[in-house]
Amino acid sequence: MFEKLISFSAAGLLVILNLAPGAVSAADDPAELNDLEIAHVAYTADNIDIRYAHLALAISENPAIHEFAETMIRDHTAVNEQALALLAKLDATPQDNFLSRSLKKDSDALVDEMSRLRGAAFDRRYAENELAYHHAVNDLVENAFIPNIENAEVKTLFEAGLGIFKNHEQHAAAMVDQVR
Amino acid sequence: MKLPSLLLLTVVVLIATVSLAPASLAEEHVVEIRDFAFIPEKISARPGDTITWINRDIVPHTATARDHGWDTGEIKPNGRTTLEISPRFSREYFCNYHPAMRGAL
């Protein structure tokens, strides 16, 4: 069961990363990441969503999109501050890894794509991506990261973060309906 | 004590009692914000009561009237904001940052 959950999580993220399922090797298994690598992935994922939000504030003229984007910036910044404070307390440094790099690379392509859109087309793309992105990352956090995090304080922070990001996913789903 | 003095004292005590009476009936309510929910979701409060919202989450929230007639403004993590209920307060409220969070007075 647990292996199935991890496979599902990895598959979900691969959709976001635009990678073929066969591209994952044992060395590229999200469930094999250590706590510091997981922290790096989470920090990277937070910053990617903040970047999408700034793009939305720059391009969209829809007040609902603006409100959502501002919430993404506010919440992801708050979570990152908590994560950095915890890492400082633990005297630990996040470790870069394959998943962080893949997320970053994929987000660069998506920002490039969304930057060319305007009006309702941008709003729809942004909203749909926010829903898909939060769904995939939440799935990964819940089923691959949290069960494997060893440090209790790090695990608690991820559990709190998951609650926040599930709320974002619901909010994004409502926004998708709104801009459809 | 002379009669005029007694009368004056009686009047002062009466005025003090009447002016203090409403304040002594006012209640202080506490609503915790935890895991993206107002706890309790509904409270029984009336004009003159105070409500203190305490944010236990790690992200900011607000308590904002549906009609935007009243608003706590941003309540930071571990922060709190107290408002006194006025007769014009509308009952339904939500978090302006996370609209799925709802509460009622």
- To probe the interface with B, which of A46, A71, A169 has the most B CB atoms within 10 Å? A71
pLDDT at A5 exceeding the cut of 80:
no
Question: Is A79's CB within 8 Å of B58's CB?
Answer: yes
DSSP letters spanning B14-56: HHHHHHHHHHHH--EEEEEE-SSSEESSB----TT-EEEEEE-
pLDDT of the residue at A107: 97
pLDDT of the residue at B23: 52
Reported as a pLDDT band with limits 50, 70 and 90, residue B7 is low
Instruction: List helix spans (H) across chain A.
Output: 2-17, 35-59, 63-89, 98-115, 119-140, 152-179
A46 or A28, higher pLDDT: A46
Average pLDDT over residues A98-107: 96
The interface predicted TM-score (ipTM) is 0.78
pLDDT at B50 exceeding the cut of 50:
yes
| Residue in B59, B99, B100 nearest the CB of A164 | B59
A2 or A36, higher pLDDT: A36
Residue A155 burial (C-beta neighbours within 10 Å; 0-12, 13-18, 19+): middle
B98 touches chain A (CB under 8 A): yes
Reported as a pLDDT band with limits 50, 70 and 90, residue A27 is low
| Residue in B36, B60, B99 nearest the CB of A74 | B60
* Least Cα separation, residue B62 to chain A (angstroms): 12
* Least Cα separation, residue B71 to chain A (angstroms): 17
pTM of the model: 0.80
pLDDT of the residue at A10: 41
pLDDT of the residue at A28: 80
- B53 has which bridge partners? B31, B81
- Which residues in B lie closer than 8 A to residue A70 (C-beta atoms)? 97
pLDDT of the residue at B24: 58
- Which residues in B lie closer than 8 A to residue A79 (C-beta atoms)? 58-59
pLDDT of the residue at B25: 83
| Residue in B59, B99, B100 nearest the CB of A75 | B59
